[in-house]
Structure 1
Amino acid sequence: MTTLVSTDGRRLSATADALIGSEILKIAGEIRALVAGGRTVCNLTVGDFNPAEFAIPPRLAAETEAALRAGETNYPPSAGMPALREIVAAFYREWLGLDYGVDSVLVTGGARPAIYGVYRALVDPGDRVVYPVPSWNNNHYAHLSGAVGVPVVCDAAHAFLPTREALAPALRGARLLALNSPLNPAGTAFDAGQLAGICDLVLEENARRAGTGERPLYLMYDQVYWMLTFNDVEHVTPVRLRPELAEHTIFVDGISKAFAATGLRVGWAVGPRDVIGRMSDLLGHVGAWAPRAEQVASARLLAAAGEVRAYQAQITRGAQARLDALYAGMRALRDAGHPVEAIPPMGAIYLSVRYALAGRRTPGGETLRTNEDVRRYLLEAAGLAVVPFQAFGLAEDTGWFRLSVGAVSPAEIDAMLPRLRAALDALA
């Protein structure tokens, strides 16, 4: 059989041909092979939850089962089940002080389709999309939408969060600014002053464009981790700080992180009705709907405010205990003279840690030069699996890594720390 190819020899589209696969999934495959071979690994790579450590809320499990038994198994409405859209709007009013109607809420099959929908509804090929790095997958969404990605490099001095000053040179003429707080991968979060400065910058840019025929600048605010904050950190939102931003802000959210329900695939976008309507039409053609039974169950969970608060306290306590243990362990290594530093955990399930090991020699005589060298050494010598910030768009070998605690027990962390110390002690 003859296989037809393009005139330049490609069998795939240019978009598919140039697409970069998930760096994290590649690392996950390596770890699975090691574990299958009998190795002990403290796996801090996955942005997920082990149900044995973080079970979903009992009501969510019970209501999903009840909905399935009741026959909630056919197609849901393309914008989402009305009860869920209504309760999301009410939930935002009660918990975040954000006043949106039902027509401003779109339910999707997890938060990823919502992000994709924002890009496809607002961004034309060649448009500029500004996003900080490190950040999760904006480089890939920019590629999928044909956008020109404009990464703004952030550093540890600013907790890997962008500042008004860093963003200002990049926003002139941009179509979309993508922000995330609490931040994946850093586990840090905006405070009101930081975010207000960025909001003012967006408002100023749109005021400049008014009357010129230039399309406005939109802000996508991914807050899927907003219910997981620690140490008196208060989650802040652009629209609460600057209500006039509502017409140009789209929130992305869902149950996956706040309720350890990554596999149930219920997410949503909240924003201007015209944008949400077009996103609904676009994603309707893709079929990116959340399963009907899970939507029904999610609506019933969010309506039970007392249970939500109790579960939030439980999951936050569990995540913070693990992050605090890791942070204390990294500080102890630093105090012992090892080139290790970490940023205090503020939110999400992540800790930023720097292993400044470039130039050190392993017992086998190898010189560590790159983040990948360091990652492999920590995995092989300490059974510690981490993700370098290169997986989140930061190109340089700075020694910074993401450590994720959703899939490990406190005992696994405690057992790993002596192995890590021994591995660092063995370096010359």
Structure 2
Amino acid sequence: MSASTPQPDQSIRPADRRVSARIGAIAESATLAVDAKAKALKAAGRPVIGFGAGEPDFPTPDYIVEAAVEACRDPKNHRYTPAGGLPELKAAIAAKTLRDSGYEVDASQVLVTNGGKQAIYEAFAAILDPGDEVIIPAPYWTTYPESVQLAGGVPVEVVSDETTGYKVSVEQLEAARTENTKVVLFVSPSNPTGAVYTEAEAEAIGRWALEHGLWVLTDEIYEHLVYGDATFTSLPALLPELAEKCIVVNGVAKTYAMTGWRVGWGGGPKDVIKAATNLQSHATSNVSNVAQRAALAAVAGDLDAVAEMREAFDRRRKTIVRMLNEIEGVLCPEPEGAFYAYPSVKGLLGKEIRGRRPQTSAELAALILDEAEVAVVPGEAFGTPGYLRLSYALGDADLVEGVSRVQKLLGEARD
């Protein structure tokens, strides 16, 4: 399935169009909308438990905060710096990338951005021309197709489900490829499903992209959050010959509990990174220097903090999967990475629950918020209706309480 950017209504004078067709077609981030609604209800005194936001519930480690405090006191951070990022941070990101994934890049191949979202948009903007197609495996993070369309491209969805562990095959990708295909998106570990591709599966997809001369954009933001026997695989490290047509997106948000600091980056071929840097020089200029100094402390430091978080996430992962699978009509595969569970709720749709018969997962999510005061994100936000996404990046007690409420409510479902 593909989508194209809507064309302006030619019967309306340009001066009378209040919002452009390009921007008017963008949907609000569903995950942020759910989180905002949950926080608003909580502020109003309702005991809402939110499973919507994809952010660790841990504070940013102290040594990173202290680096920011010191940066605030240094006048050199009160001024403009290079649009593409502090040179010392770019060098540290290159060193961290080699250390953590085995992918060797030079500092000149790195662009520091205002979070991973800006890196994704600027990467697509740098390589896409109008009509270029981008294959996006679904379920997908809600921002991917919007970024493609903003950049003038056409998102082409390839849908997977729980029967394959939410992973797409080379055969599915090939069936979606056309003469207009330019990029394939590869995300492992995945948001929203927590799926992790094996090295063999990743290599097969990388070799398929190489065979057809396609670009690959790979989002490695959850690289350190894998569990059990699952392992993280970086495509350009696995297949160095892919590097000339591969852009890697990453950031400090998930690994170091720094979602609010807004520091991400993109790495790739020098000409593409230079083009994206030029775009950023006009869009935002440099990322906040204080946040960059904090990010420097993070990526140059050890991984002890993420090891502690991963242990907690692993424990919560097992708990939430067990509890969700105890609900009749719910099927939740065990995620191998990130911090999301993505259960199928198709078995509950159309059933009566407290006088209502939700026909879609969006309606079911609304019912859960109204009746159980638990906020979850419906699968419609990720391109696959019939599912819910629950982040388990929240405290153990809240997690158990929240899912217990959902169990009680959905246990009332009747034909």
TM-score by length of 1: 0.89
Structure 2 residue 163 is matched with structure 1 residue 157: yes
Match of 1:180 among 164, 181, 187: 187
Match of 2:60 among 56, 60, 63: 56
Match of 1:201 in 2: 208
Select between 92-101 and 257-266 the one with higher mean Cα deviation: 92-101
Three-state SS of the structure 2 residue aligned to 1:227 is: coil
Equivalent pair of 2:121/2:148 in contact (CA under 8 Å): no
Conserved in 1, the CA contact under 8 Å of 2:108 and 2:270?
Answer: yes
Verify the 8 A CA contact 2:81 2:289 in the aligned structure 1.
yes
State the distance in 1 between where 2:78 and 2:309 align: 29
The match for 1:403 is 390
What is the distance in 2 between the residues matched to 1:152 and 1:17? 25
Number of residue pairs matched? 399
Residue equivalent to 2:284: 287
Tell me, what secondary structure is at the counterpart of 1:106? strand
Distance in 1, Cα, partners of 2:286 & 2:311: 32
Q: How far off its partner does 1:7 sit? A: 4.7
Alpha-carbon separation, structure 2, partners of 1:225 and 1:98: 16
Compute the displacement of 1:378 (Å). 1.8
Q: Distance in 1 between matches of 2:14 and 2:231?
A: 55
Instruction: Give SS of 1:132's match.
Output: strand
The Cα RMSD (Å) is: 1.7
> Is 1:143 the counterpart of 2:149 in the alignment?
yes
Question: Shift in Å at residue 161 of structure 1?
Answer: 2.1
Q: Report the secondary structure of 1:268's partner residue.
A: strand
| Aligned-partner SS, 1:354 | coil
Which consecutive unaligned segments of at least 5 residues does structure 2 have?
1-11
Letter in 2 for 1:309: L
- 1: CA distance, partners of 2:294 / 2:26: 36
The 5-angstrom pairing of residues 23-422 of structure 1 reads 23-50=30-57, 54-71=58-75, 72-136=77-141, 137-173=143-179, 174-206=181-213, 217-287=214-284, 289-304=286-301, 308-333=302-327, 338-355=328-345, 356-364=347-355, 366-394=356-384, 397-398=385-386, 400-406=387-393, 408-422=394-408
Task: Supply the AA of the counterpart residue of 1:420.
Answer: V
CA contact under 8 A between 1:76 and 1:291: conserved in structure 2? no
- Deviation digits for residues 283-314 of structure 1, max 9, x if unmatched? 1111153211221232233222xxx2211211
Q: Structure 1 residues 37, 312: CA separation in 2 closer, same or farther (over 3 Å shift)?
A: closer
Cα distance in 1 for residues equivalent to 2:252 and 2:352: 44
Q: Aligned-pair distance for 1:64?
A: 0.8
Distance 2:382 2:21 in 1: 23
Check 1:86–1:255 CA distance in 2 against 1; reply closer, same or farther (3 A cut). same
Q: Do 1:108 and 1:288's aligned partners in 2 also have CA atoms closer than 8 Å?
A: no
Note if contact 1:139-1:393 (Cα within 8 Å) is conserved in structure 2: no
**Structure 2 counterpart of 1:213:** none
Distance across 2 between alignment mates of 1:155 and 1:114? 28
Say whether the 8 Å CA contact 1:164–1:201 is kept in structure 2. yes
- Sequence identity percentage: 30
In 2: Cα distance, 1:97 partner to 1:222 partner: 15
1:29 and 1:99 mapped to 2: Cα distance? 39
- The superposition leaves residues 21-57 of structure 1 with CA deviations (integer Å, 9 ceiling, x where unpaired) of 222333334323432343222210111233xxx0112
- Structure 1 position 267, deviation (Å): 0.8
Measure how far apart 1:18 and its partner are: 2.2
CA contact (8 A) 2:49 2:374 kept: yes
Q: Distance in 2 between matches of 1:33 and 1:282?
A: 35
Cα distance, 1:60 vs structure 2:
0.7
Letter in 1 for 2:91: E
Please give the alpha-carbon distance, in whole angstroms, between the structure 2 residues aligned to 1:311 and 1:28.
25
Task: Say which SS state the counterpart of residue 331 (structure 2) adopts.
Answer: strand
Q: Distance in 2 between matches of 1:417 and 1:373?
A: 18
Equivalent position amino acid for 1:401 in 2: L
- TM-score normalised by length of structure 2: 0.92
Change (3 A) 1:99 1:32: closer
1:69-104 deviations in Å (ceiling 9; x for gaps) = 122222221111111111111111122111111111
Q: Is the 8 A contact 2:138 2:382 kept in 1?
A: yes
Distance 1:32 1:56, change over 3 A: closer
Provide the rounded CA distance (Å) in 2 between the counterparts of 1:75 and 1:117.
21
Q: Is the 8 A contact 2:362 2:379 kept in 1?
A: no
